[in-house]
Amino acid sequence: MFRQTLTKEWLDAKRQGQLWWLCLIASLLLLLACTTGWQNYQSYQSDAYDVAQQEQTRWLNQGEKGPHSAAHYGIYVIKPATPLVALDDGLQAYQGNVVRLEAHTRNDGMFRTVQDNLPMARFGSLTPAFVLQVLLPLLILLIGYPMFASEREQGTLKQLLASGVEPLQLFAAKCCVLFAIAATLLLPVIVYLLFIQFEQNESAKLAYRSAGFFVVYISYVALWSIITIAISCLLKSSRRSLIVLLTIWALSTLLIPKLAMNYSTGVYPLDSNQAFQNRLKREVYTDHREMAFERFEQSLLQKYAVSSTSELPFDFAGARLQFGEQYADAIFDRLFGERLEQLQSQTDSYFLASLLSPMIAVQSLSMAFSASDFHHHQHFLARAELHRRMMQRVLNHNQRDHAHKSEGQYVANLSLWQQIPKFEYHPPAFTDLTHHYRVNWFSLVLWLTASLLLGTFAVRKLTKEPLR
Amino acid sequence: MKRLLLNTEFKNLLREKVAVIIAAFSILLAGLAFLNGHFFSQSQSEVVEAAWTSQQHNITEAATQLPLRLSTTEPVKWWQDRYDLRAQAFYVMVNYATKPPLPASPIAIGQADVLPYYFRMLVQEKQQVVQQYDYVHPLNLLLGQFDLSFVLIYLLPLLIIGICFNALSNEQHSGQLRLLLLQGGSAGQLLTIQILLRGAIVLLPFLVISNLFFMLFREQIELQTLTNFTLITLLYGGFWLALCAWVNSRGKGAATNAAILVTCWLSFVVVLPALINTFITHADPTPSRIQYIDSLRASTDEAKKAAEKTLAQFFQDHPELASSSASGSDFATKKIATINAVEQAMQAFDEQYQQIQQAQLGKAMWLKYLSVATLTHSILVELSGNGLVRHNAFMAQVQRHHQALQSFFATGIVEANQKGDFSPCKGCNARPTITDLSTLPQFDKDFPTPNVNLAPMLWLIVLSLLLIHRTSRNVGVLAAPQTSKVVV
């Protein structure tokens, strides 16, 4: 019986003239988006790889110089992208993916791509994520809104139910057909997800991410399919069902995400860069710092029982530089930590709004699986900062241990530059950051449950349909 | 008859809760969007104000503490000494270039949350200066600001569609249209009254609230700006009303009308802009900033390696400094010469970015006509002063200021060096070489900004007129069989 119902629903759907046009347009858009996404990813990765190599060569070939000059010379590190960025580039363009690592300073990422864009870019680009998160639900509701409502209007629904078709089966059959049509549109994405498994080295990590990515979107398709059919079933006319579904779509994809983020940034405001940099300078370069230097010098003199720094068994300038770095690092940790806390609060507050909009949950999880979201970027920045500190430590310790032995100005060479390993960044395993996305998972499950409950309610109402 | 129709339609709308809900929505959205845009602009104004205050405070403080500096016998580190030209040039100068938001800024935030609106100026490569930015949550940039332009472009058309999609079709399918025609009314009149009245329910609250809030909260706003904003809103709203009228005049059912209108909205507001944007960025791709950093690094290395050659080149380019310089090869002059060399080496790359931007703008100028949303957005962004025209004017002014500062310090440092001010004797402090910080070049905030060109809005008028023309023809056809059937 279910198979017959399914066949009937499939034939009904096929007869809808608009179905093929909508599917064709959506497929073309998705294919175009996937192609441009792949091109962008390839070009970014190639640039990132080439420039990282160049930078390493430059570092090694910087010639003979003092270790502290090398520390100021520094190095630029670039955040690599995962292949999933081709499907969802998330926040890649909105945060600087290059960081300069140098002495005394903790820098933010440089050159956000979005700064080079025209104002028109704020309408959004055609990316697979945009098609999947915004357009696909619209396609589902445009195909699905008349599935029950128009049958009711034409009077065929009562006939069907009177002929002994189980309401639950009918509802399930319509859901299955709608889900199958929408899921078919995910094919290019599925093919790409499979393709990258064979292309990449770290296939285990990537497989996990790809599977997660797929689960998120298939759940999203299921969610919208059930909601669409349930609304179509609950409302009397196809007109009302279309209006209600469109309102839900506009609220969840356009209005709530924007309002939620604007609200979050209003409630947890950030200092301007000017204020932040002033604060950094004010807190690092203080009399307290000079006194700390003084105490450090005295403690060394006392420890080694000497009266002047020139009598120390190492170069005092090198030790002082490292002390200065550690002193500044503690302040960086506090001030950058405070800023990160505010940013984290903004993110959490936004994630909480996923209880109101399933799109927020899906968008956040999709970016997370693609490693193109805020948390992954912070992970990269933290790793870059650790590398910077290691660089400074190695260089300062080298000066401390060797500068006093040299006659004239001490210069280091290739052997020291080689002691600093190349910065190799790999996004963490998704499980390491899962705790950040609990709300999103919870919301997605909650939305799925709510849609199933709505479906159950609709089926109950359908049971009473012949009596209406 | 017209008055009767108007009264009846008005009463019908009042009876329908949807009309009240939509009017309330329009008021709420306008208020929220204005306040959000206003607070955003206010926060930028405060930052700009703080920058100017700190600059002025620094000048005053330096004047007050000058006697103390002149009398000190303690060793002074030159790089921390605010009275030393070299320290001012490279480390301690408090000099800002700022772009304060205009009173019309809440209309459309545009790129104002992305593009830098102030720079702390130091004598360094301009490539290092212009990459400064305010750290904001990247998600906020991705999602954009909830401002008046967002409400106008995205949401008002949806409200218009929501209230207008069943105009005429209700009367047509319930048979009321026949009665009306029998009583001497016309379908055209009914449709016009329905569309205009429903349009007014959406547009008027939006315009009243936004204009009122502008007058209350942004006192310096010009009447001309408000008139332009109102005109743009009416033209854009007018287009959507004309579209609704045309779709309704085709005589289909309400659900079909709604589906067609939503598809139009989706095409104009969501899909086409994204497609245009994708096309522009792929037709003229912006060169990679990662490669740019690589070039910057290579140029800096090159200039530093050839420091003496760079210095010689610098004096060749600035003979006025070379002729009076006995020992010009001090650290500061070398540094300025290196900065100059790096900027010159990077000029070609910077021009490449400008050329690409111009090419993209050229394409955008024509392609924006494909979608009413992109057309309206581009004008609103410029009207609010948050578009590329004003930003490019600001950047040109920043460039001039950067050159003025460089020239000021290059001259001052060479002269001071020549006089031996930096090392008057062995082991003693450098002499103060700048005692009045107000003599430093100050950024001129009154940079010229071209007027907003409203001419592209003519395209909206043309489209609306075409739709109205088609509507009147359709209504004629629609009314004919209805009348004849009844007469027969």
Domain locations in chain B as residue ranges: 1-488
- pLDDT tens, position by position, A347-388: 999 999 999 999 999 999 999 999 999 999 999 999 999 999
**CA distance, residue A412 to nearest chain B CA (Å):** 17
- pLDDT tens, position by position, B391-427: 999 999 999 999 999 999 988 988 888 888 888 887 7
pLDDT at B55 (0 to 100) = 94
B114 — contact with chain A (CB < 8 Å)?
yes
Instruction: Pick from A27, A104, A118, A339 the residue to mutate for testing the B interface (most B CBs within 10 Å).
Output: A118
Whether residue A81 is predicted with pLDDT greater than 90 in this model: the reply is yes
Contact A444, A358 (CB under 8 A): yes
- Strands B118-120, B96-98: pairing kind: antiparallel
State the ipTM, two decimals: 0.91
**CA distance, residue B475 to nearest chain A CA (Å):** 22
Whether residue A254 and residue B373 make contact (CB cut-off 8 A), yes or no, is no
* pLDDT band at A202; cut points 50, 70, 90: low
Whether residue A291 is predicted with pLDDT greater than 60 in this model: the reply is yes
Among B15-29, B53-67, B461-475, whose mean pLDDT is lowest? B15-29
* pLDDT winner (highest mean) among A250-254, A462-466, B72-76: A250-254
B187 contacts: CB under 8 Å, gap ≥ 6 = B168, B177, B180, B181, B475, B478, B479, B482
Distance CA A379, CA A371 (A): 10
Whether residue A85 is predicted with pLDDT greater than 60 in this model: the reply is yes
Whether residue A467 is predicted with pLDDT greater than 70 in this model: the reply is no
pLDDT at B10 (0 to 100) = 76
Q: Give phi and psi for A412, each to the nearest 5.
A: -100, 170
Give the closest residue to B414 by CA, choosing from B330, B309, B313: B330
B462 — contact with chain A (CB < 8 Å)?
no
Q: How far is residue B302 CA from its own chain's centroid?
A: 37
Among A161-170, A458-467, B349-358, B425-434, whose mean pLDDT is lowest? A458-467
Quote the percentage of chain B above a pLDDT of 70: 93
Instruction: Pick from B129, B136, B290 the residue to mutate for testing the A interface (most A CBs within 10 Å).
Output: B290
Order of all β-strands in the sheet with A98-102: A75-78, A98-102, A105-106
Whether residue B266 and residue A138 make contact (CB cut-off 8 A), yes or no, is yes
Nearest neighbour of A274 by CB, restricted to B118, B255, B292: B118
- pLDDT tens, position by position, A168-201: 988 999 999 999 999 998 999 999 999 888 876 6
Contact B40, B49 (CB under 8 A): no
The residue-averaged pLDDT of A196-216 equals: 85
- β-bridge mates for residue A105, sequence order: A102
Whether residue A95 and residue B138 make contact (CB cut-off 8 A), yes or no, is yes
pLDDT at B355 (0 to 100) = 93
**CA distance, residue A191 to nearest chain B CA (Å):** 23
| Surface of B (33-62) touching A: CB under 8 A | 36, 39, 43, 47, 50-51, 54
A114 vs B contacts (CB less than 8 Å)? 114, 141
**CA distance, residue B264 to nearest chain A CA (Å):** 13
**CA distance, residue A76 to nearest chain B CA (Å):** 9
A270 vs B contacts (CB less than 8 Å)? 135-137
Contact B81, B416 (CB under 8 A): no
Instruction: Pick from A139, A272, A360, A372 the residue to mutate for testing the B interface (most B CBs within 10 Å).
Output: A272
Instruction: Find the residue in B nearest to A377 (Cα).
Output: B138
Whether residue B84 is predicted with pLDDT greater than 70 in this model: the reply is yes
Quote the percentage of chain A above a pLDDT of 90: 67
* pLDDT winner (highest mean) among A281-290, A350-359, B90-99, B470-479: A350-359
Whether residue B288 and residue A47 make contact (CB cut-off 8 A), yes or no, is yes
Whether residue A55 and residue B373 make contact (CB cut-off 8 A), yes or no, is no
pLDDT at B319 (0 to 100) = 60
pLDDT at A44 (0 to 100) = 94
* pLDDT band at B487; cut points 50, 70, 90: very low
Buried b (16+ CB within 10 A) or exposed e, B364-401: beebbebbbbbbbbbbbbbbbbbbbbbbbebbebbeeb
pLDDT at B480 (0 to 100) = 66
* pLDDT band at B486; cut points 50, 70, 90: very low
**CA distance, residue A137 to nearest chain B CA (Å):** 12
Whether residue B374 and residue A242 make contact (CB cut-off 8 A), yes or no, is no
pLDDT at A335 (0 to 100) = 95
The residue-averaged pLDDT of B3-13 equals: 76
Instruction: Pick from B52, B142, B166 the residue to mutate for testing the A interface (most A CBs within 10 Å).
Output: B142
SS3 A459: helix
- Strands A105-106, B96-98: pairing kind: unpaired
- Strands B96-98, A98-102: pairing kind: unpaired
For residue A3, how many other CB atoms are within 10 A of its CB?
9
Whether residue B274 and residue A262 make contact (CB cut-off 8 A), yes or no, is no
CB pairs under 8 A between A and B: 211
- pLDDT tens, position by position, B299-321: 888 887 776 666 666 666 666 55
**CA distance, residue B133 to nearest chain A CA (Å):** 7
Whether residue B479 is predicted with pLDDT greater than 70 in this model: the reply is no
Nearest neighbour of A76 by CB, restricted to B158, B280, B297: B297
Contact A436, A375 (CB under 8 A): yes
pLDDT at B329 (0 to 100) = 45
The residue-averaged pLDDT of A83-92 equals: 94
pLDDT at A404 (0 to 100) = 86
- pLDDT tens, position by position, A245-259: 988 999 999 999 999
Distance CA A186, CA A366 (A): 14
Whether residue B28 is predicted with pLDDT greater than 70 in this model: the reply is yes
Instruction: Spell out the domain ranges in chain A.
Output: 2-467
Instruction: Find the residue in A nearest to B141 (Cα).
Output: A94
Question: Mean pLDDT, chain A, as a whole number?
Answer: 91
